[in-house]
């Protein structure tokens, strides 16, 4: 993600820069989902 953004910026390639931004956003969303899942599992364990 960051590499695509950087290369896109340095080469003035807006499409590549946008792809990098999208890749980072997808990664952040996936990571957030994993945190939510872990928190739900921890809450379930605490109730047992």
Banded model confidence at residue 36, pLDDT cuts 50, 70, 90: very high
Q: Which residues contact 27 (CB under 8 A, 6 or more apart)?
A: 1
Residue 33 has what pLDDT? 96
Contact (Cβ atoms closer than 8 angstroms) between residue 14 and residue 8: yes
- Max intra-chain CA distance, the chain: 56
Banded model confidence at residue 39, pLDDT cuts 50, 70, 90: very high
Residue 26 has what pLDDT? 97
Q: Find the distance separating the first CA and the last CA of the chain, reported in whole Å.
A: 40
Residue 48 has what pLDDT? 82
pTM of the model: 0.70
């Amino acid at each position: 993600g960051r590499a695509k953004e950087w290369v896109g910026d340095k080469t003035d390639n807006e499409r590549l820069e946008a792809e990098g931004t999208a890749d980072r956003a997808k990664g952040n969303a996936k990571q957030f989902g994993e945190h939510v899942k872990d928190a739900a599992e921890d809450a379930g364990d605490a109730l047992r």
